[in-house]
A and B are shown apart, each in its own frame.
Chain A
């Protein structure tokens, strides 16, 4: 039994266009964007190294990880907060970290990809995501004056705790890590 080490990238996709709320982040398009950038800037041997041991998770619903789609590559996408999780082999970590800044377009719209965190397991990646979400919600809460909006944000803040996600983290860990 050999453990294959992986690295999980937590990425935020920023749409610099003024009508950002209308833009949708889909996992297939995001994967296509990464592959396009990889084909342009990597050689064939690097491309092969990067493409191995890489699966894909999709989220289309309200909770963070809903359904899995295994196509040999892992990407988890949250279309509401426009965050994505990309998994690569440990030895291709640096390659992906240097590839992500060269991604320019997602579904023919200009994007900026910001790497928020790089972790060794999905669980820690999810923790980092929750931490990030909490921080953005707190910032929103500070800057809003509308009472209804504040109530909604406070409810959202209470709902995003680590305890609620703990069960899901355990179920996620069963699926990956060991071969």
Chain B
């Protein structure tokens, strides 16, 4: 079974409303959900808050996964040096939202981020140049668009359609994820309905479904390599964190240290030879 992802649900101050939104998302069939904190210029950076406790049933709790995400709003003046910070690494996904052409170029080429997102509910203010998009794709970065504003407001809808169709044509639907950007539960829609909407935005049917299932999964794996690995190749973990069934790998890799063990091994090798010789004599 494929898991449906919604990697952008806005963090709201009202805890009860937040719980309700997440519960509705679970009910609609989403299994992986990320709660987004938006960091604008001048805001104080804090570590990732713990996942919100939802009173779900046992089965729902097993299937439902809650992640944290930070979206940094980029402008020309922002200092990007803190993006490798430990506090930023505490979030599961790091996304940037460029507001100018220069910041879009920087986000596509220089910054080590997982996801580039845009505010499609208004006019962007710059053109998404093919050259920058291609460099971002080559570096394995992902793009996102949100359908929430299109449902919320009819004036926003026109801008969302205009921007997303243009965006999908440019990129041919590669490395794109679709998320809700929901502040209220009414902005959410069921996964298959969202796939239908994506066809309206100009995506093909297969792309529309994979932008909710396999592409976000690949994005999460990429984010994990950024956070937890040394140059995307080595991870370091404690021995106790290894599950029971995989412990034989560590025991098997221990070098044989005692002499007694060696002797036993040599005896074992000799025995079959003797047996063979006995057999020959009997014949």
Contact between B190 and A114, CB atoms less than 8 A apart:
yes
Contact between B193 and A100, CB atoms less than 8 A apart:
yes
Across-interface contacts of B186 in A (CB, < 8 A) = 16, 104, 110-112
Interface flag for B194 (CB, 8 Å): yes
Chain B residue with minimal CB distance to A140?
A: B57
Chain B residue with minimal CB distance to A97?
A: B196
Across-interface contacts of A111 in B (CB, < 8 A) = 186
A101 and B199 in contact, given A14-B24, A16-B20, A112-B185 (Cβ under 8 angstroms):
no
Cα separation A102 to B193 with both chains bound (whole Å): 10
Cα separation A94 to B193 with both chains bound (whole Å): 11
Name the contact of A112 in the complex, choosing from B28, B57, B59, B157 (C-beta under 8 A). B28
Across-interface contacts of B185 in A (CB, < 8 A) = 16, 112
Interface flag for A108 (CB, 8 Å): no
Interface flag for B27 (CB, 8 Å): yes
Contact between B24 and A16, CB atoms less than 8 A apart:
yes
Contact between A101 and B196, CB atoms less than 8 A apart:
yes
> Which B residues, 192 to 214, have Cβ-Cβ distances below 8 Å to chain A?
192-194, 196-197, 199-200
Across-interface contacts of B196 in A (CB, < 8 A) = 94, 97-98, 100-101, 115
> Which A residues, 67 to 114, have Cβ-Cβ distances below 8 Å to chain B?
94, 97-98, 100-102, 104, 110-114
Count residues on chain A whose CB falls below 8 Å from chain B CBs. 21
Across-interface contacts of A114 in B (CB, < 8 A) = 28, 189-190, 193
Contact between A98 and B59, CB atoms less than 8 A apart:
no
Chain B residue with minimal CB distance to A113?
A: B193
Interface flag for B38 (CB, 8 Å): no
Name the contact of B197 in the complex, choosing from A14, A101, A113 (C-beta under 8 A). A101
Across-interface contacts of B57 in A (CB, < 8 A) = 139, 142-143
Cα separation A41 to B154 with both chains bound (whole Å): 9
Contact between A102 and B199, CB atoms less than 8 A apart:
no
Cα separation A139 to B199 with both chains bound (whole Å): 32
Cα separation A142 to B184 with both chains bound (whole Å): 29
Contact between A115 and B193, CB atoms less than 8 A apart:
yes
Interface flag for A40 (CB, 8 Å): yes
Cα separation A100 to B199 with both chains bound (whole Å): 14
Chain B residue with minimal CB distance to A16?
A: B185
Across-interface contacts of A16 in B (CB, < 8 A) = 20, 24, 184-186
The 23 sampled A-B contact pairs (Cβ below 8 Å) are: A14-B28, A16-B24, A16-B185, A18-B20, A40-B154, A97-B193, A98-B196, A98-B197, A98-B200, A101-B151, A101-B193, A101-B194, A101-B196, A111-B186, A112-B186, A112-B188, A113-B193, A114-B190, A114-B193, A115-B192, A115-B196, A139-B57, A143-B57
